[in-house]
Amino acid sequence: MRFKTIRIPAYGPFTGLEIDLPNHGGDFHLFHGPNEAGKSSLLRSIRALLFGIPAQTADSFLHSYGQMRIAAEFRSLDIGPAAGGR
Question: How far apart, in whole angstroms, are the C-alpha atoms of residue 26 and residue 37?
Answer: 27
Pairwise pLDDT comparison (84 vs 16), residue with the higher score? 16
**pLDDT tens-digit series, residues 38-84:** 999 999 999 999 999 999 999 999 999 999 999 999 988 766 555 55
- Please report, for the chain, the start and end positions of each structural domain, with discontinuous segments joined by +: 2-75
**pLDDT tens-digit series, residues 59-71:** 999 999 999 999 9
Q: What is the pLDDT of residue 86?
A: 45
Of 44, 38, 40, which is closest to residue 17 (Cα–Cα)?
A: 38
